[in-house]
A and B are shown apart, each in its own frame.
Chain A
């Protein structure tokens, strides 16, 4: 019996090993250079003068008020956007109505409008130079350069997050389970709370997570409307800019490190959701 020497089989649905290694190396290098390096820098710069300096910077009254303001803004905008997202997904996926496609486009609008333009538009609507703004000022209602303006600007930029996540999930789930609940005698609200909400809870959490990360980190839109009054209208990102421009690098990076930790936590929770509940999320099968 003669032995025919086999040549190494050429892979059919993948690349040869050296190519694979090259591509993996390129990808990992790219990620390391463009993603990990800046992230590491944040923490390195924050700790440049040791823990104590960093913690002291965070404990200053201005920093604390910035942290508090950021938390309050997120606590208001995120629930509002969650309600909006649920309402939008409910109307869009459970009913057939005129102008649906146009409505979806409108919901997506904030994704493609510059945050600075959003802030500008808000100032033109309610700033002191507009007639509506003059009326508000006459009635002692301050929106621009005050807390309500920051909330509105943050809502603009975070507006599509929850709806975008929920709509595909609810399209996939269809209407049959809600209809079944109704035929069994459940009221509309009951069927919503006992059937719809449990079915979308993970997707909702996912959307809220992304919405929250953006709400706490928004810079451009808030910078325009905040007026940057220290201790009053400075959110964490605005405070970072002010400190950085004053060459208070450690203080700026310490605040930045807090936000970076929040970002890492967001990514961790998001990944957990994706691994455990991939079948119930839209993001993991978007195409």
Chain B
């Protein structure tokens, strides 16, 4: 599903978090919002998810105006910066949460839920941790569980807020490729926020440079693996 961001702006009181910005995200693309803290990238991502409301402008999902949709109706898989895993639920229950939250008519049977959760745990290559609690997991495992939980709702797009921010350098590198692979397999339009330029250029198809609420520059990356070949002017 393609995403159109049209003249989106956001003010907090008298403070401007986002000046009118427009981005066109083709269906199936993996794009990175890159910038320092306070650049408005997280605000933009949260507006896409329906967690913040823009002061002006609109968002189109698949050509249809989604600006007024509630967060539940948007069905955006969102991975939070610190994962926001439910501490009192097991990994299995976390991943199953979105399926169990569906209205009775649309809710899969428990057997079907179990099947889907296990398939997702396989996908993130952690098949055996369903019975554990989030605080028994490593940082990298938590990040992958958060990803599986977001994917479980069969989202229309994937939104990730600093998905690797809380991890150490080694795990970070491994998980980057993991995200790229999951993206390629699911074909979901994916937007992630980062302040790490290498990370953005290594896995994204399109990198959007943001600063102080403005878009500074957009760069199309060549197919994955050859990112270094294209020079990108630092701002």
Q: Please give the residue numbers on chain A whose beta carbons come within 8 Å of chain B beta carbons, in ascending order.
A: 176-177, 179-187, 190, 194-195, 198-199
Contact = CB atoms under 8 A, between A and B. Distances in A.
Interface string B122-163: 000000000000000000000000000110110000000000
Interface in B87-110: 87-88, 97-98, 101-102
A184 B80 contact: no
Interface in B43-77: 49-51, 71-72, 74-77
Contacts of B153: 184-185
Given A179-B80, A180-B78, A198-B86, 16 more contacts: A176-B81, A176-B82, A177-B86, A177-B87, A180-B84, A181-B101, A182-B51, A182-B71, A183-B50, A183-B72, A185-B75, A185-B101, A186-B101, A187-B72, A194-B97, A199-B88
B71 A183 contact: yes
A12 B88 CA distance: 42
A184 B84 contact: no
A82 to B, nearest CB: 20
13 contacts: A176-B80, A176-B84, A177-B84, A180-B78, A180-B80, A180-B84, A180-B85, A182-B51, A184-B98, A184-B153, A190-B101, A199-B87, A199-B88
A87 to B, nearest CB: 22
Contact of B77 (A183, A190, A195, A198): A183
A195 B71 CA distance: 17
A181 B78 CA distance: 10
Nearest to B74: A183
A185 B84 contact: no
Nearest to B72: A185
Contact of A179 (B84, B88, B97, B150): B84
Interface residues of B, number: 26
A195 B86 contact: yes
A38 B98 CA distance: 56
A186 B98 contact: yes
A194 B89 CA distance: 10
Nearest to A190: B101
Contacts of A184: 97-98, 101, 149-150, 152-153
A244 B81 CA distance: 62
> Quick one: which of A182, A185, A186, A198 has the most chain B CB within 10 A?
A185
Contacts of A183: 49-51, 71-72, 74, 76-78, 150
A194 B87 CA distance: 11
Contacts of A185: 72, 75, 98, 101-102, 153
- The 6 residue pairs across chains A and B that have the minimum distance between CB atoms: A184-B98, A176-B84, A180-B84, A186-B101, A183-B78, A198-B88
A199 B71 CA distance: 22
B96 to A, nearest CB: 10
A106 B85 CA distance: 35
> Quick one: which of B77, B78, B152 has the most chain A CB within 10 A?
B78
A187 B88 CA distance: 19
Nearest to A177: B84
A77 B58 CA distance: 48
A182 B80 contact: no
Contacts of A182: 50-51, 71-72
> Quick one: which of A181, A184, A187 has the most chain B CB within 10 A?
A184
Contacts of B49: 183
A190 B152 CA distance: 18
Contacts of A194: 86, 97, 101
B69 to A, nearest CB: 12
Contacts of B85: 180
> Quick one: which of B74, B76, B82, B97 has the most chain A CB within 10 A?
B97
Contact of A186 (B72, B75, B76): B72
Nearest to B77: A183
A194 B49 CA distance: 21
A198 to B, nearest CB: 4
A205 to B, nearest CB: 14
A10 B50 CA distance: 62
A180 B87 CA distance: 12
A195 B149 CA distance: 15
A194 B77 CA distance: 19
Contacts of A187: 72, 101
Contacts of B77: 183
